[in-house]
């Protein structure tokens, strides 16, 4: 998309949402928000899962210390506000972060929330809890810089860091930063979670429904407006959208309306309000650099050079998706590099034929050619959002003497397969919960990270990860982030094909909901949502 | 007859034992480890955490020990806990059973009530336009996938009535429940009704050519008495067999129909459990289905004797 068009889109979305909320009038209390859910979440414990299948229904049960403002579409460090904390302060050396905590807050079972709960939660996510450990801990990499968390009385908690990390606040403000009670076991949190949030958990029937009810003792006066939220689990997307069109639901599941489906929804339910925005999920190629001949850097580079990004975007999203590097491109993304810088990276030159000619030379140098083609399995998850781009990738690889064979992997086995590096070349989707380099770089590109499926490891670059993480000046940090991101693309760490864009729709009487434009993971507290019925 | 029943019962137990072994072994041969799959929603696999979960679930024990634990539990009515929801298996399965049972019963009822009379009409009016129309409908029924038919019905409902007959909350009255299940039951029963109709037709055609039918007609019996009292009763033997088998096969159609119409029954639940490799749910549910099928077969065999007094089970 042209930069001007991108800027215009963001402006329109923001303006639209502002006008919509402005015209909404005085919020009314009451009513149950009804949504469909795309699948049955593995558990109700946000801390143990890495999918918004869990996050969306259960984020309203909890509070964080700090949270991205729910009515601001773009998540930035400036859009973070206190939640269970009332304020925060950094020490002079930026290595100590102190939170003053809200008093009088109660867990849904009536017990008081104190600083001890924050310590317990942080011990759990840092893998330090011996009495109540998490069964799975997908965000261990996020908090490696936190060396200690201590309670100072009941109303103050102190985070000690190994080095300065201003973005720690961004991680804590994500939907993945809920506070858990000390007195409830990790097992109970998976089955019947207890939080301090605007909604209380009522029931979770696997494959059927999830129900939340209003928390009458919520610490924020007058909130939430809704009496409850009900999610009906409908894995069949056609049935779910038909039900939304027929008015059975007030909202679609967030980001579940693809560009082609959006046309159908708008045609059949013209009254619906739909916002098409980036998900901060990229489609990318993972290359197992331990398996010959892909240990050869020339072959990996040739693969990046043959990718025609625009073809993917045009075929799969009717031109709506974004092209970028590891960080979500602007204007929605805060850290994406400028287009002129992007175009210089391997595979991003608009002259695709020129790039492919260079790629063929590299392949020939490695001993491949028209009469000696390289055969490889392209593994991917057996769902359309993975399978469709994989088919296009196979077509693009043909141009450089690589014959790919599609190897579809049952969806439930995918992450385990790539985690144990049981693949040669794969097509993967990577979601970023927070539009911040600390989350993306450490999780997906740091040496030894569990989600670094490609096994890329560059110690020098890792030192730069640490360096950018400490910079407090946003503009100065951006420049270093662009440099790192460019190096990741030069090293063909995980060639990014495109950044997905999809829509969320709701009925016009649903007010106060503001979809985030640079993350699909942070905007589901629902305490400001109300029904104008 | 008594000895036959005992022998048949013994055979049933042996069959169920064989099925239990096959279910148990096959489930563990399917690629994908339950613990790996549990980690899928976390997007990573941590070997230390994986080992701990394996130990917690008892998956580190030898397969025969795991099998003995399952069968031992079954004998005592302990079906274990779901690996995914961590709730007792029985509490996960029991609320869903009546929903699927009702749906299956209604679908089977639809198949019999539509299939048998239309099959008789088609046979009695052989080669008439009625017969041709009914044969085309039955062919359509056999060739139409139930997920496609289900989606067509849903789209038709939205277009015509602006609403959708899908399950979003438990029905408040019995009538609500009946109406909610009637459309999906018809969708899944349509294929079975086509099969029953074709079988009834061919079976009836064969019987209608028998000498005793000609004799009945010659004695002045009314067409209704000939067709229903003399012909249909004898023509029903193969149809009853197929209905028995179809009741077992219905579960396949129910999986799709429950998904399309969003019905929270056991069929859809079973598919999800297989996807998650939720062994306790799958093992116990498949075992339950196996018991139903084996018992159905047993009952069908017994029904033969009722339908045809000439059939005797020797001791």
> CA of A85: how far to CAs of A99, A139, A207, A263, A264, in Å?
6, 21, 36, 43, 44
From B218's Cα to the closest Cα of chain A, the distance in A is 57
Peptide bond into A331 cis (omega under 30): yes
Contact A232 B168 (CB under 8 A): yes
* Chain B residue with minimum CA distance to A188: B86
Structure pTM?
0.85
Amino acid B36: pLDDT: 84
Give the residue carrying structure tokens 């790919």.
Answer: A404
pLDDT at B19 (0 to 100)? 92
- Asked if the model's pLDDT at residue A9 lies above 70, the reply is no
pLDDT for the residue A83:
98
- Per-residue confidence at B152, pLDDT binned at 50, 70, 90? confident
Residue A414: enclosing H or E segment and its boundaries?
Answer: helix A414-419
Of A207, A209, A249, the CB nearest to B269: A207
B163 touching A, CB under 8 A?
yes
pLDDT confidence tier of residue B261, bands split at 50, 70 and 90: confident
Q: How many CB atoms lie within 10 A of CB B17?
A: 11
> Which of residues B299 and B279 earns the better pLDDT score?
B279
pLDDT for res A531: 97
Contact B134, B118 (CB under 8 A): yes
Q: Among A210-224, A489-503, B123-137, which is the least confidently predicted range?
A: B123-137
Average pLDDT rounded to a whole number, residues B236-243: 83
Q: Is the ipTM of this complex over 0.85?
A: no
Cβ separation of B151 and A239 shorter than 8 Å? yes
In angstroms, the first-to-last Cα distance of chain B is 5
Q: Choose the closest CB to A451 out of B40, B43, B53.
A: B43
Give per-residue pLDDT as tens, A305-348: 999 999 999 999 999 999 999 999 999 999 999 999 999 999 99
Which of B43, B99, B154, B158 to mutate to probe the A interface, most A CBs <10 Å?
Answer: B43
For A96-119, what is the mean pLDDT?
Answer: 97
pLDDT at B133 exceeding the cut of 90: yes
> How much is the pLDDT for B1?
65
- A356: closest CA of chain B, how far (Å): 33
- Cα(A388)–Cα(A382) distance, rounded to whole angstroms? 10
CB contact under 8 A, A191 and B85: yes
CB B263 within 8 A of CB B168: no
| Weakest-pLDDT range from A235-239, A346-350, A498-502 | A235-239
For the stretch A148-173, pLDDT in tens is 999 999 999 999 999 999 999 999 99
Asked if residues A208 and B268 have their Cβ atoms less than 8 Å apart, the reply is: no
Q: Pick B275's closest partner by Cβ from A242, A412, A415.
A: A412
What is the rounded average pLDDT of the residues B192-205? 91
Q: Identify from A135, A411, A423 which residue to disrupt to test chain B contact, counting B C-beta atoms within 10 A and taking the largest count.
A: A135
Two tokens at B104?
A: 């299956």
Cβ pair B162:A246 closer than 8 A: yes
- Report d(CA A64, CA A172) in Å as an integer: 7
* Nearest chain A residue (CA) to B53: A135
Q: Is A421 on the interface with B (CB under 8 A)?
A: no
Report pLDDT for A16.
Answer: 52
User: A206 vs B92: CB contact, 8 Å cut-off?
Assistant: yes
Q: Is the predicted pLDDT of residue A8 greater than 70, yes or no? A: no
ω into residue A48 within 30 of 0, thus cis?
no
The chain B residue lying nearest A431, using CA atoms, is B43
Best residue in B34, B262, B278, B281 for a mutation probing chain A (most A CBs within 10 Å): B262
Which of B46, B154, B272 lies at the smallest CB-CB distance from A207? B272
Indicate if the pLDDT at residue B315 is higher than 70: no
When comparing pLDDT for A511 and B53, which is higher? A511
d(CA B37, CA B278): 10
Give pLDDT, residue B313. 60
Please give the residue that has the higher pLDDT: either B301 or A221: A221
Q: Which of A34, A35, A42, A520 to mutate to test the interface with B (most CBs of B within 10 A)?
A: A42
Interchain CB distance below 8 Å, A138 and B264: no
User: Which residue is listed with tokens 């079954």?
Assistant: B74
CA distance B286 to chain A (A): 18
Is the CB of residue A232 less than 8 Å from the CB of residue B168?
A: yes
Using CB atoms, pick whichever of A205, A245, A416 lies closest to residue B39: A416
Is A413's CB within 8 Å of B40's CB?
yes
- For the ranges A243-247, B200-204, B222-226, the lowest mean pLDDT is seen at B222-226
Instruction: Out of B49, B168, B261, name the one closest to residue A135 (CB).
Output: B49
Mean pLDDT of A14-34: 70
CB of A423 closer than 8 Å to CB of A319: no
Strand partners, A161: A146
**Torsion sign across C-alpha atoms A216, A222, A225, A229:** negative
Identify which of A245, A411, A389, A397 has the alpha carbon closest to the alpha carbon of residue A316: A389
Confidence class for position A24, pLDDT limits 50, 70, 90: low
B2-29 helix and B63-75 helix, angle to the nearest 10 degrees? 140
Contact: B52, A135; criterion CB under 8 Å: yes
Residue of B82, B164, B169 lying closest to A242 (CB–CB): B164
Q: What is the largest CA-CA distance in chain A?
A: 75
Q: Is A208 on the interface with B (CB under 8 A)?
A: yes
As a whole number of angstroms, the distance between CA B225 and CA B227 comes to 6
B54 interfaces chain A, CB cutoff of 8 Å: no
Q: A200 in the Ramachandran plot: left (φ > 0), alpha (ψ -120 to 50) or beta?
A: beta
Largest CA distance in chain B: 85
Our measurement of the distance from residue A434's CA atom to the centroid of its chain's CA atoms, rounded to an integer in Å, reads 6
Please answer yes or no on whether B38 and A413 come within 8 Å at the CB atom: no
* Nearest beta carbon to residue A137 from set B46, B262, B272: B46
Give the list of residues 6+ apart from residue A246 with CB closer than 8 angstroms, or none: B157, B158, B162, B163, B164
Q: Which residue intervals of chain B bear CATH 1.10.3720.10?
A: 98-264
- Residue percentage of chain A with pLDDT more than 70: 95
- Asked if residues A519 and A434 have their Cβ atoms less than 8 Å apart, the reply is yes
Answer yes or no: is pLDDT of B230 > 90: no
Of A465-479, B67-81, B285-299, minimum mean pLDDT range: B285-299
Query: How many angstroms separate the CA atoms of A107 and A215, rounded?
Result: 10
**Cα(A261)–Cα(A267) distance, rounded to whole angstroms?**
10
In the three-class reduction of DSSP (H, G, I as helix; E, B as strand; rest coil), residue A337 is classed as: coil
Q: Which residue among A137, A233, A413 places its CB closest to the CB of B32?
A: A413
Strand partners, A377: A405
Q: Nearest 5 degrees, angle CA B11-CA B240-CA B204?
A: 145
For residue B162, count CB atoms less than 10 angstroms from its CB and return exposed for 0-12, middle for 13-18, buried for 19 or more: exposed
Tell me which chain B residue has its CA closest to the CA of residue A453: B44
What average pLDDT does the segment A20-41 reach? 83
pLDDT band of residue B314 (cuts 50, 70, 90) is low
Chain A 217-256, CB below 8 Å of chain B: which residues? 230, 232-236, 238-239, 242-243, 245-249
Listed residue (A123, A28, A14) closest to A76, CA to CA: A14
Helix axes B174-208 and B233-260, enclosed angle (nearest 10): 140
pLDDT band at A367 (very low <50, low <70, confident <90, very high): very high
Q: What's the rounded Cα separation, in Å, for the pair A257 and A521?
A: 16
Contact B42 A232 (CB under 8 A): no
Per-residue model confidence (pLDDT) at position A438: 96
Total beta-carbon pairs less than 8 A apart between chain A and chain B: 142
In this complex, is the C-beta atom of B159 within 8 Å of any C-beta atom belonging to chain A? no
Q: Mean pLDDT across the stretch A76-97?
A: 96
B314 to chain A, any CB pair closer than 8 A? The answer is no
Q: What is the pLDDT of residues A370-398, one digit of tens each?
A: 999 999 999 999 888 899 999 999 999 99
Average pLDDT score over chain A: 93
- Whether residue B263 lies within 8 A of chain A, CB to CB, comes out as no
DSSP symbols for A358-408: HHHHHHHHTT-BTTBPEEEEEEEESSHHHHHHHHHHHHHHHTTTEEEEEEE
Q: Is the pLDDT of residue A11 over 50?
A: no
Given a contact cutoff of 8 angstroms between Cβ atoms, the answer to whether A482 and A437 are in contact is no
Contact flag B44-A451 (C-beta cutoff 8 Å): yes
SS (H, E, C) chain B: CHHHHHHHHHHHHHHHHHHHHHHHHHHHHCCCCHHHHHHHCCCCCCHHHHHHHHHHHCCCCCHHHHHHHHHHHHHCCCCCECCCCCCEHHHHHCCCHHHHHHHHHHHHHHHHHHHHHHHHHHHHCCCCHHHHHHHHHHHHHHHCCHHHHHHHHHHHHHHHHCCCCCCCCCCCCHHHHHHHHHHHHHHHHHHHHHHHHHHHHHHHHHHHCCHHHHHHHHCCCCHHHHHHHHHHHHHHHHHHHHHHHHHHHHHHHHHHHHHHCCCCCHHHHHHHHHHHCCHHHHHHHHHHHHHHHHHHHHHHHHHHHHHCCCCCCCC
Using the beta-carbon criterion (under 8 Å), do A239 and B262 form an inter-chain contact?
A: yes
Check if B92 contacts A (Cβ < 8 Å): yes
A352 confidence band (pLDDT: 50, 70, 90): very high
Q: Does domain B98-264 have CATH number 1.10.8.80?
A: no
Q: What is the CA radius of gyration of chain B?
A: 24
Tell the burial category of B269 from Cβ atoms under 10 Å away from its Cβ (0-12, 13-18, 19+): buried
Flag if A415 and B155 touch (Cβ within 8 Å).
no
What residue of B is the nearest CA neighbor of A418? B44
pLDDT digits (tens, 9 = 90+) for A401-457: 999 999 999 887 888 889 888 999 999 999 999 999 999 999 999 998 888 999 999
| Enclosing H/E stretch for A443 | helix A437-444
Dihedral sign (CA B5, B8, B12, B17): positive
CA distance A125 to chain B (A): 13
Q: Which residues of A touch B166 (CB under 8 A)?
A: 234, 239, 243, 248
Q: Is A420 at the interface with chain B, CB within 8 A?
A: yes
Residue B308 has pLDDT above 90, yes or no: no
């Amino acid at each position: 998309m042209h930069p001007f068009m991108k800027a215009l889109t963001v402006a329109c979305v923001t303006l639209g949402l502002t006008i919509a909320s402005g015209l909404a009038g005085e919020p009314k209390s009451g009513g149950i928000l009804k949504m469909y859910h795309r699948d049955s979440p593995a558990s109700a414990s946000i801390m143990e899962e890495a999918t918004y299948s869990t996050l969306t229904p259960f984020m309203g049960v909890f509070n964080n210390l700090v949270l991205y403002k729910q009515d601001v579409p773009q998540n930035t460090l400036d859009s973070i506000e206190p939640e269970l904390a009332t304020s925060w302060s950094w020490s002079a050396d930026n290595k100590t972060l102190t939170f003053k905590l809200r008093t009088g807050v109660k867990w849904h079972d009536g017990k008081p929330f104190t600083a001890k709960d924050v310590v317990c939660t942080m011990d759990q996510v840092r893998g330090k809890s011996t009495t109540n450990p998490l069964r799975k801990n997908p965000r261990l990499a996020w908090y490696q810089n936190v060396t200690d968390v201590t309670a100072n009385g009941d109303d103050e908690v102190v985070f000690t860091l190994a080095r300065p990390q201003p973005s720690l606040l961004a991680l804590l403000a994500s939907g993945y930063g809920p506070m858990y009670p000390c007195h409830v076991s990790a097992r109970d949190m998976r089955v019947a979670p207890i939080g301090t949030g605007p909604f209380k958990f009522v029931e979770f029937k696997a494959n059927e429904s999830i129900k939340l009810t209003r928390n009458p003792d919520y610490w924020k006066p007058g909130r939430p407006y809704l009496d409850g939220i009900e999610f009906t689990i409908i894995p069949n997307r056609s049935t779910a959208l038909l039900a939304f069109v027929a008015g059975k639901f007030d909202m679609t599941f967030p980001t579940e309306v693809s560009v082609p489906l959006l046309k159908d929804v708008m045609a059949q339910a013209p009254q619906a309000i739909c916002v098409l925005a980036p998900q901060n999920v990229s489609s990318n190629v993972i290359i197992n650099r331990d398996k010959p001949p892909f240990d050869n850097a020339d072959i990996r580079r040739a693969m990046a050079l043959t990718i025609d990004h625009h073809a993917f975007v045009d075929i799969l999203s009717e031109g709506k998706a974004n092209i970028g590097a590891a960080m979500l491109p602007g204007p929605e993304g805060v850290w994406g590099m400028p287009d002129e810088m992007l175009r210089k990276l391997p595979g991003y030159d608009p002259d695709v034929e020129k790039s492919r000619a260079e790629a063929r030379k590299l392949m020939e140098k490695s001993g491949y050619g028209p009469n000696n083609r390289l055969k490889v399995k392209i593994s991917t998850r057996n769902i359309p959002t993975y399978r469709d781009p994989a088919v296009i990738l196979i077509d693009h690889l043909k141009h450089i003497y690589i014959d790919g064979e599609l190897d579809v992997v049952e969806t439930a086995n995918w992450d385990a397969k790539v985690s144990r590096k049981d693949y040669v070349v794969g097509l993967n989707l990577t979601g970023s919960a927070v539009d911040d380099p600390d989350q993306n770089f450490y999780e997906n590109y740091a040496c030894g990270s569990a989600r670094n499926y490609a096994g890329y490891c560059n110690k020098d670059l890792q030192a730069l990860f640490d360096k950018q993480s400490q910079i407090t000046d946003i503009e100065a940090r951006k420049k270093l982030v662009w440099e790192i991101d460019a190096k990741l693309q030069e090293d063909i760490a995980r060639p990014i094909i495109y950044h997905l864009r999809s829509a969320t729709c709701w009925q016009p009487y649903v007010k106060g909901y503001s979809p985030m434009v640079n993350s699909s993971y942070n905007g589901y507290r629902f305490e400001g949502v109300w029904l104008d019925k | 007859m008594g000895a036959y029943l005992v022998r048949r019962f013994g055979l049933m137990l042996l069959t169920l034992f064989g099925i239990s072994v096959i279910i148990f072994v096959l489930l563990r041969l399917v690629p994908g480890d339950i613990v790996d799959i549990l980690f899928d929603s976390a997007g990573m696999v941590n070997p230390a955490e994986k080992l701990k979960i394996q130990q917690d679930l008892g998956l580190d024990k030898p397969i025969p020990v795991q099998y003995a634990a399952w069968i031992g539990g079954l004998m005592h009515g302990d079906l274990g806990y779901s690996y995914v929801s961590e709730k007792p298996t029985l509490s996960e399965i029991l609320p869903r059973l009546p929903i699927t049972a009702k749906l299956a019963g209604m679908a089977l009822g639809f198949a019999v009530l539509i299939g048998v009379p239309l099959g008789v009409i088609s046979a009695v009016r052989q080669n008439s336009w009625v017969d041709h129309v009914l044969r085309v409908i039955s062919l359509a029924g056999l060739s139409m996938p139930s997920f496609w038919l289900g989606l067509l019905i849903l789209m038709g409902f939205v277009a015509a009535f602006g609403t959708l007959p899908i399950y979003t909350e438990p029905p408040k009255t019995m009538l609500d429940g009946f109406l909610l299940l009637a459309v999906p039951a018809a969708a899944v029963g349509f294929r079975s009704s086509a099969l029953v109709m074709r079988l009834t037709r061919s079976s009836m055609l064969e019987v209608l050519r028998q000498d005793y039918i000609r004799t009945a007609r010659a004695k002045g019996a009314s067409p209704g008495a000939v067709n229903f009292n003399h012909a249909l009763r004898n023509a029903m033997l193969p149809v009853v067999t197929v209905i028995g088998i179809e009741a077992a096969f219905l579960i396949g159609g129910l999986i799709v129909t429950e998904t399309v119409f969003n019905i929270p029954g056991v069929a859809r639940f079973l598919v999800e459990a297989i996807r998650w490799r939720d062994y306790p749910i799958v093992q116990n549910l498949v075992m339950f289905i196996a018991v139903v099928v084996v018992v159905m077969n047993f009952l069908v065999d017994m029904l033969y004797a009722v339908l045809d007094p000439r059939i005797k089970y020797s001791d």
